[in-house]
C-alpha cells in the first residue's frame, strides 16, 4: 500500500510491484488524461509532474511515486478556469486530434517554469520529447510562446 499526493489529493494505491506509474494513474486513479501511446518513453504522451519534474510515467515504477506529489493534466485548471497554457493551446490551435496534448501541456509547464522567456528555437527543443502524429508542431510552439507571454504578464 502506498500513498501519493495526486493533483492535490492524498490517495492510497496498491499497485503491482512492476506496474508503471502511468498504469496506476489510468487504471487505479481513473486519470485517463495520462495517455499511453508508445509505452517506451519516446512519445511523451504520458508525461506527468512528479515533485514538479516532468517524467515519462510509463517508465517509472508506480511504487517509486510513494509519498511524492504527482500532477496530471486533470490537475491543471478546470473547465471553467483553464490554465493559461491550456487556453493558449485552444487559441493557437495547438492540436488536431488532441491525444498528445496533455503531455505537451505538462512538458510546456515544466519548461516555462525553468525558462519563462524562451526563444522559439528553445521551445522547439524543449518540446522534442513529445510526438504529435497530426504534425501540429508549429502551432504547438506558437501556443507555448503565447502561454509564456501570458504567464510572464501574470507574474509581474
Partner 1 sequence: MSTTTTEIARFAFVRPDDVAGAVAAGAAAGQGGRFWAGGTDLMLEWQRKQRSIETSIDITRLSELRGIDVGPSEIRIGALTTLAEIERAAAVHPDLETLAAIAAVMCTPQTRTLATVAGNLCNASPAADLAPVLMVLGARITTLTAEGGRELELEDLFAAPKQSVLADGELLTHITIPLGGRRAVRYGRIARTVVDIALTLSACALTLDDQGRIITARIAFGSVAPTPLRAPSGEQLLVGKTLAELTPELLAEAATAAAGDANPIDDIRTSAAYRRHAIRVLTQRALTEAVAQLSVGGDQ
Which residues bind to partner 1, rule: CB under 8 A?
A: 16-18, 20, 39-42, 44, 47, 50, 53-56, 58-61, 63-64, 66, 107, 110-111, 125-126, 128-130
User: CB of 43: closest distance to partner 1 in angstroms?
Assistant: 9
- C-alpha cell at position 13: 494505491
Q: Specify the residue, 55 or 143, whose C-beta has the smaller distance to partner 1.
A: 55
Helix (H, G, I), strand (E, B) or coil at 79: coil
Nearest to residue 72, comparing CAs of 41, 38, 36, 39?
36
CA–CA distance from 143 to each of 41, 60, 114, 146 (Å)? Answer: 24, 28, 17, 5
Residue among 46 and 151 whose Cβ is closer to partner 1: 46
Closer residue to partner 1 (CB): 44 or 94: 44
Plot region of 34 (φ>0 → left; ψ -120 to 50 → alpha; else → beta): beta
Q: How far is the CB of 100 from partner 1 (least distance, A)?
A: 13
Shortest approach of partner 1 to residue 79 CB, angstroms? 26
Supply the minimum distance, in Å, between the C-beta of residue 16 and partner 1: 6
Q: CB-wise, 63 or 69, nearer to partner 1?
A: 63
Comparison of 38 and 90: residue with beta carbon closer to partner 1: 38
CB 48 within 8 A of CB 57: yes
CA distance 53 to 79: 24
Minimum Å gap between C-beta 90 and partner 1 is 23
Q: Are 117 and 152 in contact (CB under 8 A)?
A: yes
How many Cβ atoms are within 10 Å of 15's Cβ, its own excluded? 21
Amino acid at each position: 500500500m502506498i500513498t501519493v499526493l495526486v493533483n492535490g489529493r492524498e490517495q492510497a494505491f496498491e499497485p503491482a510491484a512492476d506496474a508503471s506509474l502511468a498504469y496506476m494513474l489510468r487504471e487505479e486513479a481513473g486519470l485517463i488524461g495520462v495517455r499511453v501511446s508508445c509505452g517506451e518513453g519516446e512519445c511523451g504522451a504520458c508525461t506527468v509532474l512528479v515533485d514538479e519534474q516532468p517524467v515519462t510515467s510509463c517508465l517509472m515504477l508506480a511504487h517509486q511515486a510513494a509519498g511524492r506529489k504527482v500532477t496530471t493534466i486533470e490537475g491543471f485548471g478546470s473547465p471553467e478556469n483553464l490554465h493559461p497554457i491550456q487556453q493558449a493551446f485552444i487559441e493557437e490551435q495547438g492540436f488536431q486530434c488532441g491525444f498528445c496534448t496533455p503531455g505537451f501541456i505538462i512538458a510546456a509547464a515544466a519548461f516555462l517554469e525553468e525558462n519563462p522567456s524562451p526563444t522559439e528555437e528553445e521551445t522547439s527543443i524543449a518540446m522534442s520529447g513529445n510526438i504529435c502524429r497530426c504534425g501540429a508542431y508549429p502551432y504547438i510552439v506558437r501556443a507555448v510562446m503565447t502561454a509564456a507571454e501570458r504567464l510572464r504578464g501574470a507574474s509581474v
